[in-house]
Amino acid sequence: MISNIFLLSTPSQLINVIEAKKYFSISADSSVAIINAYSTNLILMKELLKQEEWREIIFIEDNAERQKEHEQNLKRGNHLHAIKRVFQQTAKLNKLIEKYSEVKNLFVGYYLSLENIHIVNTVRYEKLILLDDGIATLDVNRRRKNNISFLNAWNIEFLGRVLFKKFILGYKLKHPKSAVFFTSYKIETGPNDSLVKNEYNEIMRLVGSKETSDEVYFLGQPLSEEMPKIVTEEVYFKYIEFVVEKFKLQKMVYIPHRDEDRTKLERLSKTFNISILFNDIPFELFLLKQPKLPRYLVGLITSAIPNCKAIFGDALNILAIRINRSHVINKALIPTVEETYAYFATLEDEKFRIISIH
């Protein structure tokens, strides 16, 4: 029996894997990574994962081009090819479930993945441990506390996937009875759940004593590109304009998210005359590798804000720009947005502030 299975989807989850392995005393030869990732994440995961740290690394899809083609078929409405691919991936998934039918610890990086939750409800384990997945952790906790069904979807597209996988493919899509949140977030779990605080002790050892530069880092996000969209591009630019004006006497560097549109970034650079610094690894690791920390780190609703607060503490000044609820396009996302800022408010101190624009 393999003691530990890790269900992973994004490079940022690997930071929490480092901490979890240390905290729960998990060796390389007793752990298996199962990767189910979007094409852009898949490329990075293959670069960052080190074989010597795992007994086995398994990719549900190991070819980034094939995965990208599948994603494009979904976007274009080419459902015949997409459905055929889903059946193929499900067959591979079921073989893995049969192979690893009993484990000691089941670690989940992305709880709201339909594939992951199906595995959680099928494999037998002693303990289910939910790794931090950014601010999605707050939404997961809210859904578990209130027993919000997976049929309660953000949009019709997601609901369609839920219905298809539940009633056609037989996915078991329900909340498991209990779980352990391994998280840096200060959350109040439901009665059947528990919390283990992730203190980032392993990562913090890499911080050391860093000097501070005169730069302001703005963390970009695909808020006007991804579906469901949160704000329009026009509104997003207004938030950027506010930050640029606030720090007009200092050098501002824009760190784009890998899913941001390149054309948008070109317009942003020309409009505000700011530098664009591309980065392919999780921002927290990127910042650890920099010789100096920025004077300010600024962002909107990105999970890097609380993560960096936990890792860098008083060594970093952080500003979170509040998204006005009237600017949120998809009204179903308003509770998530507001809950996120409510959580940010619990972290406020001299080094971390939330700012509203009018």
pLDDT digits (tens, 9 = 90+) for 248-286: 878 999 999 888 999 999 999 999 999 999 988 888 888
Token readout for 139 is 């939404």
Q: How high is the pLDDT of residue 250?
A: 86
pLDDT digits (tens, 9 = 90+) for 325-352: 999 998 888 988 998 999 999 999 999 9
pLDDT digits (tens, 9 = 90+) for 133-171: 878 898 899 999 999 988 886 677 778 888 889 999 999
The residue with greater pLDDT, 116 or 133, is 116
pTM: 0.77
Cα–Cα distance, 176 to 154 (Å, whole number)? 21
Per-position DSSP letters for 323-347, written without gaps between them? PPGGG-SSGGGHHHHHHHHHHHHHH
Helix or strand run (H / E) with residue 45:
helix 39-48
pLDDT digits (tens, 9 = 90+) for 209-258: 678 899 999 999 999 987 678 999 999 999 999 999 999 878 999 999 88
Token readout for 353 is 């502030």
Mean pLDDT of the chain: 89
The residue with greater pLDDT, 286 or 55, is 55
| Helices and strands (H, E) in the chain, number of each type | 13, 15
Cβ–Cβ contacts within 10 Å for residue 288, how many?
20
Confirm whether 4-202 and 206-356 share one CATH topology. yes
Q: Which fold has domain 4-202?
A: Rossmann fold (3.40.50)
CATH 3.40.718.10 describes domain 206-356? no
pLDDT digits (tens, 9 = 90+) for 35-50: 998 888 888 888 889 9
Residues sharing a CB contact under 8 Å with residue 87, sequence separation 6 or more, in sequence order: 169
Domains of the chain, by residue range, sit at 4-202, 206-356
| Confidence bin at 2 (pLDDT 50/70/90) | low
3-class secondary structure per residue, 227-270: CCCCCCHHHHHHHHHHHHHHCCCCEEEEECCCCCCHHHHHHHHH
φ and ψ at residue 124, rounded to 5 degrees:
-90, 135
